[in-house]
Amino acid sequence: MSSPTKPKGLFGRLFGAKDKPAAPEAETHAVDAAAEPAEAAPSGEAIASGEALAETGPAPLEPAQAVDADAPARAAAAGTDSAEQPAPEPKKGWFQRLKDGLSKTSSKLSSGITGLFTKRKLDGATLDDLEDLLIEADLGVETATRITGAISKGRYEKGISADEVRAILASEVKRVLEPVAHPLVVDASRKPHVILVVGVNGSGKTTTIGKMAAKFASEGHKVMLAAGDTFRAAAIDQLKVWGERTGAPVIARAVGSDASGLAFDALRAATEAGTDVLLLDTAGRLQNKQALMEELEKVVRVLKKIDPSAPHSVLLVLDATTGQNAMSQVEVFARMAGVTGLVMTKLDGTARGGILVAISAKHKLPVHAIGVGEGIDDLQPFDAGEFAKAIAAG
């Protein structure tokens, strides 16, 4: 009937009158070949090939530091602390662990590739299959199509071996990821360097903060934690436990208190105490909850009252099991909270985290670290070459 349509015209009018921000929606279609090699200059971080990684890789969160020495200790700790490692080899490097974590993905991928390409011609059907394999790794349709396209370039209808495909796949993934692999550097000129940690519920913010605190403390930084998740029951207690483990003081208020007020207090306390790093936890929030996102904006605003340059880093914690929605998370959190870098957690499961490739292609946000377990030292710097290799090599 006529009437339903006319009021709708009205709605448009009414809505038009209000300046409501658009619903957070990601635009995925623009995932294109944007990551050009021109930008691929990795910031001073040696992308070591293969085995050499054990030495060069661990520049955990602070590149100036050679942390390799504590690798065995870490592994030992993992033995007791995170018993979830299935029979961890005594000196398993992080690459090995990442590989373990990714192995399910990549073994499937690479066995798939092997099945596909052993003495086969690179025809349309084969490429479709390859695209499917990438999609299963959560790279997303766009990115998978693009990478498949790159692989087929100049090789179409030619015989190609599995090894070749693997190498090309790795190099394509690496090409996208390399420009974004930057460890998080503590700015010594800031007292404190304020790191705000944000993300959706259950992505692993508090755990990541605990691990980061341990890392920074072991590097000799004076660390303070702020229990800004005043919503989730026991989030404060959880952070306090991490404070005890890492010897970092924890600024906390009662559950339900104002998060931005706490942020203000914490920054002031950290400044007075001469702290190097202030790690600020926040409550998990879905990016489409406008009110909660505005609350986060307020936290940032309040921090700037004390230190106009704060927060110096805003880390978005992404769960590797998340699918295409991670794109929307990055977009909205970047807009509302000014995300400066990413951490991807839960790469020790079967999840592939391939969405990171799509995110990197589009947003070019630095990826600082990856979480590969629940242990205190299961946070590792992100290394594009190794990540790509682990995906492609199996």
For residue 111, the minimal CB distance to other proteins (Å) is: 15
Please confirm whether the linkage preceding 192 is cis (ω < 30° from 0): yes
Q: Which residue has the tokens 């590969």?
A: 372
Determine the Cα–Cα distance for residues 198 and 188; give it in Å rounded to an integer.
23
Helix (H) or strand (E) holding 197: strand 193-198
- Cβ proximity to other proteins, 81 vs 219, nearer residue: 81
- Cβ proximity to other proteins, 276 vs 319, nearer residue: 319
For residue 207, the minimal CB distance to other proteins (Å) is: 8
Q: Is the dihedral of CA 198, 200, 206, 207 positive or negative?
A: negative
For residue 44, the minimal CB distance to other proteins (Å) is: 32
- Cβ proximity to other proteins, 260 vs 345, nearer residue: 345
Q: Which residue has the tokens 């790191």?
A: 195
For residue 292, the minimal CB distance to other proteins (Å) is: 9
The CA-atom distances, in angstroms, between 365 and each of 157, 179, 184, 278, 300 are: 37, 9, 12, 21, 19
- Say if residue 274 is exposed, middle or buried (CB neighbours under 10 Å; 0-12, 13-18, 19+): exposed
- Cβ proximity to other proteins, 218 vs 345, nearer residue: 345
Determine the Cα–Cα distance for residues 334 and 137; give it in Å rounded to an integer.
24
Determine the Cα–Cα distance for residues 242 and 235; give it in Å rounded to an integer.
11
Question: What is the C-alpha radius of gyration for the chain, rounded to an integer number of angstroms?
Answer: 22
For residue 223, the minimal CB distance to other proteins (Å) is: 17
- Cβ proximity to other proteins, 120 vs 240, nearer residue: 240
For residue 185, the minimal CB distance to other proteins (Å) is: 27
- Cβ proximity to other proteins, 266 vs 327, nearer residue: 327
* Per-residue tokens: 99: 């590989």
Angle ∠(316,317,319) on CA atoms, nearest 5: 140
3-state secondary structure of 251: strand
For residue 211, the minimal CB distance to other proteins (Å) is: 12
For residue 50, the minimal CB distance to other proteins (Å) is: 24
Give the per-residue SS3 of 362-388: HHCCCEEEEECCCCCCCEEECCHHHHH
- Cβ proximity to other proteins, 311 vs 373, nearer residue: 373
Helix (H) or strand (E) holding 317: strand 313-319
- Cβ proximity to other proteins, 14 vs 52, nearer residue: 14
